């Protein structure tokens, strides 16, 4: 299983501040309005929603499961999927 990494991309004269969520399967970039962890979680969820749509539903998508979030030393966030105990 892959993890998702999110990082904040600072604004430029041409673009607002954004958060990029990425993993080996793909990525998505969303507008960011503050540097809070909740925005990184929302970006990770947007990427998961994209994969669910591409796969034809949550029951067919390996990314449709809970995850935990932590911040890396460089300021990026990592979102690691957890599976229930069986």
Res 84 pLDDT > 80: no
Res 49 pLDDT > 70: yes
Dihedral over alpha carbons 60, 63, 64, 66 (to 10 degrees) = 150
Average pLDDT score over residue span 52-67: 88
Joined together, the tokens standing for residue 63 give 């990314």
Res 56 pLDDT > 70: yes
Each residue of 2-17: pLDDT tens digit? 899 999 998 888 888 8
Decide if 23 contacts 36 (C-beta within 8 A): no
57 part of a folded domain: yes
Decide if 70 contacts 43 (C-beta within 8 A): no
Mean pLDDT over the full length of the chain: 90
Instruction: Give the model's pLDDT for residue 55.
Output: 92
Which residue, chain included where needed, has tokens 């990082």?
A: 7
40 part of a folded domain: yes
Decide if 65 contacts 82 (C-beta within 8 A): yes
86 part of a folded domain: no
Domains: count for the chain: 1
Joined together, the tokens standing for residue 9 give 């991309």
Joined together, the tokens standing for residue 18 give 């954004």
> 44: domain range?
4-81
């Amino acid at each position: 299983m892959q993890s998702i990494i999110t990082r904040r991309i600072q604004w430029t004269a041409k673009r607002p501040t954004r958060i990029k969520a990425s993993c080996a399967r793909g990525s998505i970039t969303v507008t960011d309005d503050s540097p809070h962890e909740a925005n990184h979680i929302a970006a990770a969820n947007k990427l998961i929603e994209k994969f669910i749509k591409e796969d034809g539903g949550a029951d067919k998508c390996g990314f449709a499961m809970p995850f935990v979030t932590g911040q890396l030393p460089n300021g990026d966030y990592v979102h690691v999927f957890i599976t229930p105990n069986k």
